[in-house]
Structure 1
Amino acid sequence: LTPLQDLFSCLQWDQALDSNLGSLIKRTSDLESLMGKLIQTCQHVEVNASRQENKLLEECDLLINIIQQRRQIIATKIKEGKAMRLRKLAQQIASCKQCIERSSSLITQADVALKETDQTRFLQTAKSICERLSMATASSQILLPEINLNDTFDTFALDFTREKKMLESLDYLTAPNPPVIREELCTASYDTITVHWTSEDEFSVVSYELQYAIFTSQSNVVSLCNSADSWMIVPNIKQNHYTVHGLQCGTKYIFIVKAINQAGNRSSEPGKLKTNSQPFKLDPKSAHRKLRVSHDNLTVERDETSSKKSHSQDRFSSHSSYGVTGNVYIDSGRHYWEALIGGSTWFAVGIAYKSAPKHEWVGKNSASWVLSRCNNSWVVRHNCKEMPIEPSPHLRRLGILLDYDSGYLSFYDAVGSQHLYTFDIAFAQPVCPVFNVWNRCLTVLTGLPIPDHLEGTDYNN
C-alpha cells in the first residue's frame, strides 16, 4: 500500500502545486496590469500638471498685460488732467498780470492828475481818467477763476482695494465635490417630484444640472447612466432644489445632480424617487340612493334604516348593486389606492368600464373586476366567474394596484403585504374605481405612492 499512498500523495501535492501556481500566475498578471495602469496614470499626471503650469503662466502673463495697459491708460489720463489744469491756470495768471499792469498805469495817471494844481488841466484829464478807472474796476471784478482754487489735483485717488482682494483670492480651482441627494427631504405629488440636495462646495459651484430618467425593475443603474438617450436634462439650476413637472403618476425615477464650475463637474450618486398615484374621490352623483357619501367624498356608508329582511333580500338581488364610483377614468400608467374596511362584512372593491351596467353587481359582467366579501366568504369575481381567496381574517386595509399599460389589476392586504389575487386584463376602454357597500362603510385613500414591496412585482399567480 505504501507505493500507492506515495503515488496518491504525489498526485495531491501535484494538484495543489498546480492550483497554487495558477493562482500565483493570475495574481502576477493582475499586478502587472495594475502596475501598467499606475504608470499610465503617472504619465497622465505629468502631462496634465505641465498643461496646468503652462496655463498658469499664460493667465498670469495676461493679467500682467492687462495691468500694464491699465497703468498706461490711467497715467495718460493723469498727464492730460495735469496739462489741462496747468494750461488754464497759466492763462488766468497771464490775464491777472495784464490787469495788474493796466491798473498800475491808471493808478499812476490818477496820482498825477490829483497832484495837478491847474484847475483847467485837472478838469481836462479827470473825467477821462475817472471813466477808465471805473471800467478797469468792473473788468477786474468779473475776472473769476475758471477752476476751483482748491483743486490742486489732490481730490482724486487710485483705489485698487477690490482688485487687490481679487488678486489675493486667486487660487487653483478644482471641480466641486459631488453633491448629495437628500431623499428624506424630497417630496412628490402624482405628477411632480421636488429634488433636494446638499453640496460641501456650495460657494465654488456656478450651477447645478439635474438629470432624470424612468427607472423600472428591469433597469440597470450602470447601463442607464451610460445611456445618454434615456435622460432628461435640466441645466443651469442656481438653487439646491428643483421641482420637475409633467411626470407619470405612480412611476419610479432615477435622479443625478451635477455640481459645475469652470474647472469641471462631479455627479452625485443616483437617487431613486417616485411619484404618487393619481388622487381621486368618490363621485356622489354616481352613488346608489341608499348610500351616503361623506362631505369630503372619501367615505361611503350604507343607509341602515331599512329592515334586516330588506337587507337580506337586497344582498342577493341582482338589481341591488349598492355602488359608487371614483371621479376619475384611467387609460394609462400605474395606480395604487386603498380601501379602509370600516367594519363592513358585505362589500366589493375593484374597477369597471364606463359601459358597465349601473344596477348590476360588479363582477357579474365582462366590464368589471372586483374583490368581494360576503360575510365569511371572500372571492374575486369577473363575468360571473368567482374564485375563492383566503385573506387574513383581520384584513382591514385593502390595497389595489392597477397597471393599465401592462394589463394587470392586483389586490393586497395593505397592512400584511399579502398578495391576494391578480387579474390579467386586455383593457379596451378607460376604467373607473368602483366600490359597493351592503353594510357599514368603506373609506378610500388615494394619491398614495406605490409601496416599495410592490415595485417590480411578478403579477403571475
Structure 2
Amino acid sequence: MFFCFHLFLTLHHPSKIWFNLQALDSNLSNLIKKNNELESLMGKLIQTCQQVEVNASHQESKLMEECDVLIDIIQQRRQIIGSKIKEGKTQRVRKLAQQISNCKQCIERSSALITQADQTLKESDHARFLQTAKNINERVSMATASTQVLIPEIHLTDTFDSFALDFTREKKLLESLDYLTAPSAPSIREELCTASYDTISVHWTSDDEFTVVSYELQYAIFTGQSNITSLCNSLESWMIVPNIKQNHYTVHGLQSGTKYIFVVKAINQAGSRSSEPGTLKTNSQPFKLDPKSAHKKLRVSHDNLTVERDETTSKKGHSQERFSSQSSYGVVGNVYIDSGRHYWEALIGGSTWYALGIAYKSAPKHDWIGKDSASWVFCRCNNTWVVRHNSKELAMDPSPHLRRVGVLLDYDAGYLTFYDSVGSQHLHTFHVSFVQPVCPVFNVWNKCLTILTGLPIPDHLEALEPHH
C-alpha cells in the first residue's frame, strides 16, 4: 500500500517529492550532527565533573596533611619554648636559693654576735665587763666593716620577666590561611609595548599580581603563514625567559623588521595560566645618508636625512635618453644589508627627476640607476616612471602625485618591492637571489629627497605575498 502511494506521488509530483526528500535528508543529517555534538559535549561535562570530584578529594587530603604539619610544628615549638622557660626558671631559682642560703648564714652569725654584745652591755661587774667588752667591740667592728664581704651580691631585678610570648603575627597568618589557586591569565598591553630594530619591550598586567611568584615570557618568530594554535603547541620553536619578577621585560638580539608572537605565563605554587598570544614587531634597521658617498653636485643635510641637487649647476632640458646614459648624481645609505627584512621610505621633495632602490657594495660609485646587474631602482624622469635593472626598463603607471615611495627589502626571501606609501599601491617587485651585501641608493637630478628609516613594516605589507 505504502509503495503504491509512494509510486503515485512519484509519478504525479516527482519534483516536489525529490525536493522534500532532499530537505528532510539534509535536516536529518544536521540533527544527527547536532545530537552527536551534544553527546560529545555531555561526555566532556561528565568527565570534567569526575575530575572535579577527584581534584577536590585530593585537595581535602592535602589540607589535612598541611594542617597536621602545622599542628606538629606548633607542638614542636611549644615543647622547645617550654623547655627554654623551664631551663631559665631552674637557673634563676638555683642562683636565688644559693643567695638565700648565704644570707641566712650571715644573719645567723650576725644574730649570735648581737646577742653576745647585748649580754656584755648588761654586765654589771665592771671587771668582767672590761674583760669581754674589748673583744666583743672588735668583733662587732670587724663584722660591721666586712658586711659587703659577708653578704653576697644579690640580683633582685632578674625576675624572669624580660621575655615575651607574642604570637600576634603568627595568629594573623593562621587566620589568613586559605587555599591557593593558580593566578589568572595576564594580559599583554600592546599599546604600552615599544620596539627598536633589535629589541622589543613587552608590558603586561595581571589581576592577581600579589599572588604571582614569577612570570615566564615565551616568544617565537611569527610569519603570515603560521597558525597561532599550532605554533603555541610547538614548544621547540619558542624561546623562553623564566623567573621574571616585574610586569615587563625587554628582549634583545631580535631580527629587524620581523614580527614575533609573545605569550606571558603567570606562575605560583598552585600552577600557572598563560595570556592570549600577542604579536609585536621590531622596526627596520635605521640608517642615514653617507655624505662621503654623495656626488659633488649634491648637498646632504646636517642630519644626513635629506639629499638635494645643487640647482646652480643643473642644466635645463634633460631628456630621458640623456638621463639613461649620463653620470648619476647619487648617494648611498650608511648601512650594508646581508640578511633580514628592511623597510624605508623616501619623501619626494618636489623632485621630478630621481631614482631610488638598492645596489651591491661592488657597484660602480655614483652609477646606481639600474644600468648594470648590480643595482635595482625605481625612477622618475619628468612624466615617465620606470623600474630598471641591468639597463632593462619596465614602464610604471603610479599616481602622478606620488610623493612617498616605500621600499621593502627581504634579503633572505630574495625580493625588493616598491610601494606608493600614501595610496598603499604596489608598484613593482624584483625577485633576486642576492649574492652580495646591498645598500640603499638615492639619485637626484632636481629638488630633493628625504628618507625615513627605522620604521616598522606596515601591517598591510605584512599580509601581502610578494608579487611575481
Question: Quick check: TM above 0.5?
Answer: yes
- Residue in 1 that maps onto 2:5: none
- Residue in 2 that maps onto 1:202: 209
Alignment equivalent of 2:259, drawn from 252, 257, 262: 252
Q: CA deviation at 1:439?
A: 0.9
Give the aligned residue type for 1:144: E
After TM superposition, list the pairs within 5 Å mapping 1:121-160 onto structure 2.
Answer: 121-122=131-132, 125=135, 128-129=138-139, 132-140=142-150, 143-145=152-154, 147=155, 149-160=156-167
Q: Write the distance in 2 (CA, Å) between the matches of 1:332 and 1:3.
A: 71
Q: Which moved more, 1:329-338 or 1:54-63?
A: 54-63
Q: Secondary structure at the match of 2:240?
A: strand
Q: Write the distance in 1 (CA, Å) between the matches of 2:148 and 2:81.
A: 42
Q: CA deviation at 1:456?
A: 3.8
Q: Which moved more, 1:43-52 or 1:29-38?
A: 29-38
Q: Write the distance in 2 (CA, Å) between the matches of 1:8 and 1:373.
A: 66
Q: For the structure 1 residues 313 and 14, does the alpha-carbon distance in structure 2 shift closer, same or farther, using more than 3 Å as the test? A: closer
Q: Could you give the per-residue CA deviations for residues 408-459 of structure 1, whole angstroms, max 9, x where no partner exists?
A: 1110001111000111111111001111111111111000000001114222
- Residue in 2 that maps onto 1:268: 275
Alignment equivalent of 2:199, drawn from 187, 192, 201: 192
- Residue in 2 that maps onto 1:339: 346
Alignment equivalent of 1:228, drawn from 224, 235, 256: 235
Q: Which moved more, 1:295-304 or 1:153-162?
A: 153-162
Q: Write the distance in 1 (CA, Å) between the matches of 2:353 and 2:196.
A: 33
Q: Which moved more, 1:25-34 or 1:276-285?
A: 25-34
Q: For the structure 1 residues 319 and 13, does the alpha-carbon distance in structure 2 shift closer, same or farther, using more than 3 Å as the test? A: closer
The number of aligned residues is 458
- Residue in 1 that maps onto 2:466: 459
Q: Secondary structure at the match of 1:133?
A: helix
Q: Secondary structure at the match of 1:236?
A: strand
Q: For the structure 1 residues 138 and 35, does the alpha-carbon distance in structure 2 shift closer, same or farther, using more than 3 Å as the test? A: closer
Q: Which residues of structure 1 form unaligned runs of 5+?
A: none
Q: Could you give the per-residue CA deviations for residues 69-97 of structure 1, whole angstroms, max 9, x where no partner exists?
A: 11111111111111111111111111111
Q: Could you give the per-residue CA deviations for residues 156-204 of structure 1, whole angstroms, max 9, x where no partner exists?
A: 2211111111111111211111111111111000000001111111111
TM-score of the two chains, using structure 2 as the length reference: 0.92
Alignment equivalent of 1:241, drawn from 228, 240, 248: 248
- Residue in 2 that maps onto 1:30: 37
- Residue in 1 that maps onto 2:377: 370
Q: Write the distance in 2 (CA, Å) between the matches of 1:361 and 1:263.
A: 63
Q: Would you say the 8 A contact 1:318–1:360 is kept in 2? A: no
- Residue in 1 that maps onto 2:3: none
Q: For the structure 1 residues 8 and 434, does the alpha-carbon distance in structure 2 shift closer, same or farther, using more than 3 Å as the test? A: closer
Q: CA deviation at 1:140?
A: 4.0
Q: For the structure 1 residues 307 and 25, does the alpha-carbon distance in structure 2 shift closer, same or farther, using more than 3 Å as the test? A: closer
- Residue in 1 that maps onto 2:102: 95
Q: Write the distance in 2 (CA, Å) between the matches of 1:450 and 1:185.
A: 19
What is the CA RMSD across the aligned residues, in angstroms? 2.3
TM-score of the two chains, using structure 1 as the length reference: 0.93
- Residue in 1 that maps onto 2:225: 218
Q: CA deviation at 1:4?
A: 2.3
Same amino acid, percent of matched pairs: 74
Q: Would you say the 8 A contact 1:322–1:437 is kept in 2? A: yes
Q: Secondary structure at the match of 2:102?
A: helix
- Residue in 2 that maps onto 1:443: 450
- Residue in 1 that maps onto 2:77: 70
Q: Would you say the 8 A contact 1:350–1:435 is kept in 2? A: yes
Q: Which residues of structure 2 form unaligned runs of 5+?
A: 1-7
